[in-house]
Amino acid sequence: MSTIPVQSVTRALRYALPYKRLAALSLLLTGLSALISIALPWPLAIVIDNVIGDKPVEPWLAPLVGSLAHNPSGLIIFSVLAGLVLLLILDAVHVASNFVNIQIDQKITLDVRSELFLHSQKMSLAFHDRRRSGMLIYLINNQGDAPAGLVMTVPLLAEAALTLFGMFWVSSKLDPTLALVSLTVIPFLYWSVGYYATHIQERLTRVRALEGSSLSIIHEAFSMMRVIIAFGREKHEYSRFREQTALAVGERVKITVRQTLFSLVVNFITAIGSALVLGLGAHHVLEAKRAGYPPGSLSVGQLTVIIAYIAAVYKPLEQISFTIGSLQDKFVNLKAAFGLLDTPPDITDAPNATDIVRARGGVTFENVHFNYDGRAGTLKNISFEAKPGQVIGIVGPTGAGKSTLVSLIPRYYEPQLGQGRILIDGRDARGITLKSLRAQISVVLQEPLLFSGTIAENIQYGRLEATQEEIIAAAKAANAHDFIERLPLKYNTILGERGAQVSGGERQRISVARAFLKDAPILILDEPTSSVDSKTEAVILEALERLMVGRTTFMIAHRLSTLKHADQVLVINDGLLAEHGTQDELLAKGGLYKQLYDAQVAAIRQSKLATATAQQV
């Protein structure tokens, strides 16, 4: 069928390779199950033909029943026991194959989900800027099980095919015409499956996108809880969610109605098949009866066998067509999952990249240009050189490009080829492996992002193998130890998802402790104290000064007073390096830096004046 994406399917099947033994076992059980279901209707046929009727036992059956062949009560007991044993074995086989299949299914799902998770973490920040994380969650969780689902249709289809083939073979021995008649439905089934498959795929893709959007709303709402509460927008978010989800629900309902209608068509076709076989079969038996049952003619018991086969064969046929219908769903998911896996990470190691063991900390920008997707001139022609151990102050208006500039150093984003380069200790950063490059750099951001674990775990994140003593030493250096000791559970205090249990300044000190533990030669501080009060700022700054010792530090400063120790200052304005020099040089120059400086001095004087006036009153 043209709607089967062969490549994706073979790729999905390859996920079963690590579980070859389980898969072989599964197929073996499948074969067994097919074999038993072929034998299943025979005990009833024996009762009808050889016990109630007076037909002699068939030659192939004679060795099985032995001396019971001429003993009706014996034959009854034999048939009843045989039927019972067959059913019991069939059930046992089903239990065993469920056990095997669920393992294959879950293991493959785990493999695919982990691969998707790993891969999405390799994607650059630019990629994540473009994608809504709710969509990624949906993809990893709800679409990551598609390869396993596809693999699991193999035993299903194999069983159906085996049963079909086996039963057709037996039936054609009993009554070839009847066997052929039972096959007449197959072209109709094939046609209806094809029709369905081509008409459903587009709808399935659409419903997936709608369902993903709903999940995005939930994800965003939970990460924005504070804002939602502050603005009292719970109802608004609720309606947003409901409206979006209602769209998805509507589409789902439509699709399910179609799926059910499709099963109805399939059931109708098979019902016609059954009716044909029953009518024609009864006719054959009647003819045979009139002729006095010549050898090779169809008996009543054998007709029941064929009728039972028809029911048994059509069921898997219906199942195959349903499976093929639901396969479309899996194909859509496969495409999404493989689509993500095939999106190459845009920032990767160059083929000849090598590790850097421990950088001395020299950082050079050479004519660096950068712009975000769809924007122009975020950074234009930036050049400067930071010597190992220097402190580089970076100032400039909001949106000038300061954060962007420092995020190029660990290659969170990357200038396009030919748009300048960044050197670490004189080596092009592109020639250094990402992992070792990022190991050289500690980052403290304006908003301290902490995990929902304990304080100790959060600090330890800087170096996973750090001991308890080292964690405490780092906390002490970050001026965090004292406040942590005052908490009832101390280092074992569990932080809420967004670190809600401690104040902003305290969280920032935890993130400084984390940076201490990492002990990297290059330090990036992106307005680390801009969201705390000036008293807390002093405590954090003191810790940061300790942290800067012996490291090349890039300090984006919100208050110029925090740049006391800067060896050079970069003034960024509208993506350009507007001024560059020591603070004294820049003040003497009387340019943008001087303006910013004067404005801040005036502001401080004013607030001091205001405080003084307030105290006088």
Ligand X SMILES: Nc1ncnc2c1ncn2[C@@H]1O[C@H](COP(=O)(O)OP(=O)(O)O)[C@@H](O)[C@H]1O
290 contact choice in ligand X, Mg ion, none (CB below 5 to 8 Å, kind-dependent): none
Distance CA 36, CA 348 (A): 55
Handedness of CA 534, 536, 540, 542 (dihedral sign): positive
Q: Which is nearer to ligand X, 80 or 125 (CB)?
A: 125
Closest CA to 516 of 583, 453, 581, 461: 461
Position 378 contacts Mg ion (CB under 5 A)? no
- The residue among 399 and 550 lying less far from ligand X, judged by its C-beta, is 399
Out of 401, 415, 499, 505, the residue judged to bind ligand X by CB under 6 A: 401
Closest to ligand X by CB, 309 or 554:
554
- Residue 521 has which token pair? 């030669």
Angle subtended by helix axes 72-122 and 146-174, to nearest 10: 150
CA atoms of 174 and 189, how far apart (whole Å)? 25
**Coil/strand/helix, residue 507:** helix
CB of residue 101 to ligand X, shortest distance in Å? 45
Site membership for ligand X, residue 485 (CB under 6 A): no
DSSP state at residue 339: H
C-alpha angle 127/518/567, rounded to 5°? 90
Nearer to ligand X among residue 456 and residue 571 (C-beta):
571
Q: Could you say which of 390, 404, 508, 536 contacts ligand X (CB under 6 A)?
A: 404
Asked if 216 touches Mg ion (CB under 5 A), the answer is: no
400 is a contact residue toward ligand X (CB under 6 A): yes
Residue 419 has a CB neighbour count (10 Å cut-off) of 15
333 touches ligand X (CB under 6 A): no
Q: How many residues bind ligand X (CB under 6 A)?
A: 12
- Between 181 and 406, name the residue whose CB sits nearer to ligand X: 406
CA distance 349 to 176: 66
CB of 570 to ligand X, least distance (A): 11
Q: Using the minimum distance from each CB to ligand X, give the nearer residue, 398 or 615.
A: 398
- 403 near Mg ion, rule: CB under 5 A: yes
In the complex, least distance from residue 422 CB atom to ligand X, rounded to whole angstroms: 16
The one-character DSSP state at 520 is -
Tell me how far apart the terminal alpha carbons of the chain are, to the nearest angstrom: 88
- Of 151 and 400, nearer to Mg ion (C-beta) is 400
Residues 254 and 203: beta-carbon distance below 8 Å? yes
CB of 365 to ligand X, least distance (A): 14
CB of 402 to Mg ion, least distance (A): 5
| Selected binder of ligand X within 398, 416, 613, 615 (CB under 6 A) | 398
Strand partners, 394: 556, 570
Does residue 268 interact with ligand X by CB under 6 A? no
Based on C-alpha coordinates, what's the Rg of the chain? 37
From the list 14-22, 119-127, 339-347, 400-408, the region that binds Mg ion by CB under 5 A is 400-408
Token pair belonging to 615: 């105290």
Rounded to the nearest whole angstrom, what is the least distance from the CB of residue 588 to ligand X in the complex?
25
Task: Please give the helix or strand (H or E) that residue 395 lies within, else none.
Answer: strand 391-395
Rule CB under 6 A: say whether 518 interacts with ligand X: no
Which listed residue (372, 383, 451, 605) binds ligand X by CB under 6 A? Answer: 372
Q: For ligand X, what does the binding mask look like between residues 74 and 113, x meaning CB under 6 A?
A: ----------------------------------------
CB 385 to ligand X: min, Å: 21
Bridge partners of 370, per DSSP, are: 379
Taking CB under 6 A as the binding criterion, the range among 91-99, 319-327, 393-401, 445-453 that sits at the site for ligand X is 393-401
Contact range with ligand X by CB under 6 A, out of 26-34, 153-161, 193-201, 370-378: 370-378
Sheet containing strand 441-444, edge to edge, reads: 427-428, 421-424, 363-370, 379-386, 576-581, 568-573, 391-395, 552-556, 522-526, 441-444
Q: Choose one: 252-260, 305-313, 391-399, 487-495; the region binding ligand X (CB under 6 A).
A: 391-399
Written as one letter, the residue type at 616 is Q
CB of 577 to ligand X, least distance (A): 12
Token pair, residue 203, equals 């709808």
* 440 contact choice in Mg ion, ligand X, none (CB below 5 to 8 Å, kind-dependent): none
Q: Are 422 and 599 in contact (CB under 8 A)?
A: no
Instruction: Report the distance separating Cα 1 and Cα 614, nearest Å.
Output: 83
Task: Please say whether the beta carbons of 587 and 594 come within 8 A.
Answer: yes
Binding site for ligand X (CB under 6 A): 129, 372, 375, 378, 396, 398-404
Q: Interface residues with Mg ion (CB under 5 A)?
A: 403
